[in-house]
A = this chain, B = another copy of it.
Amino acid sequence: MESQKVSKSYQAFPMNGGDGQQSYARNSMYQRRGTDITKNIIRETILEKLDLETLPQNSSDTFRIADLGCSVGPNTFFTVQNIIDSVDLKYQSQEYNKDSVEFQVFFNDHAGNDFNTLLKSLPEDKQYFAAAVPGSFHGRLFPESSIHVFNSSYTLHWLSKVPKEIVDKNSRAYNKGKIYFTSEDEEVAEAYSAQFERDLESFLNSRVLELVPGGIMILIILCVPPNSLNRFEASVNIIGDVLVEMAKKGLISEELVDSFNIPIYVPTSEEVKKLIKENGNFKIEKSELLFRLIDNDTYQIDAHSSSMHLRAAFEGFFKENFEQDTVDNVFVQFEKKLASESNFLADPSSKELGELFIMKRK
């Protein structure tokens, strides 16, 4: 048996733990909204596409679900419940006795995730056996053919590490004075895109072994339409500007800013489809773009909530590189800058979107 040793090259970027004001649990409304939108699509697809012969059919069988990159909840609980309800419906539609089937749910995230908070907040009336699984989803996490439904929502944009070329002073992709890239920084963009390609490849190669034949993998991948304004890229580059200004004022070292880069890549929908096809292990049963227009009528967005959202997602990563005072200052300055660019916040072309992929083993 192959060793399950976690490679040192995997970096972990946990969401903010606990349930305080700056926690992920209280600042993940974007993700929640994505969950609401996709609830029905997932339900329909499970009813339509889950293979009957893969469903456990007697009481000694277990139906296993895994949520990869679950963070600390509560979104993961809603998603998992929707999957269970959908599978229940599938059983009913086929007139199986669903009461004889037991569900086991695996909540996965990096070992640095705040599993204590997650496990203490499990729904009291949950109808499943729960387990937490630590480790990077870029490697193996589960025994062979053991999971019936995989879910992973808005997680695959996190790279397993910052591409090494962009912190190498001798590389053409060296990303001096920036913490991210725009489409104009060709070499840097290419290094990021190559890292995303390697990471998605190792993710898919692990999952194809772990999924039961006929099982379903549901991925929502953050992506952008080509050549459109990328809100994430724009926001992160504003944080980059804040850091560069702080370095100029001598508040932090310039070298630290040069070596600091955000390990995220937001691909285009076409890019993801091409990579899945090239990998060859999975067949896309359904894909659907989930536009999330920034629309003040349906979803209040302002500089403060936007900054809190990014802070909840990124603070852990920032804290690995900067002092707490610096991190606090960065997000205060970021919110100010964001507020002064209200056009950006209101711009109807500033889209965030995800693409939902429902896949099966080939």
Interface residues of A, Cβ cutoff 8 Å to B: 1, 3-6, 59-60, 62, 98-104, 106, 111-112, 114-116, 119-120, 122, 124-135, 140-146
Contact = CB atoms under 8 A, between A and B. Distances in A.
Contact of A120 (B112, B125, B126): B112
A146 B3 CA distance: 23
Contacts of A132: 115, 119, 131-134
A133 B134 contact: no
Copies of this protein chain in the complex? 2
Contacts of A116: 114-116
Given A1-B98, A122-B111, A134-B119, A129 B142 contact: yes
A59 B145 CA distance: 9
B115 A3 contact: no
A144 B59 contact: yes
B134 A130 contact: yes
Contacts of A125: 3, 5
B3 A127 contact: yes
Contact of A119 (B1, B115, B141, B143): B115
Given A99-B1, A102-B1, A134 B111 contact: no
A165 B145 CA distance: 50
A337 B132 CA distance: 43
Given A4-B129, A59-B144, 15 more contacts: A1-B99, A1-B101, A1-B103, A1-B127, A3-B125, A3-B126, A3-B127, A60-B145, A104-B146, A115-B119, A116-B116, A122-B134, A130-B133, A130-B134, A132-B132
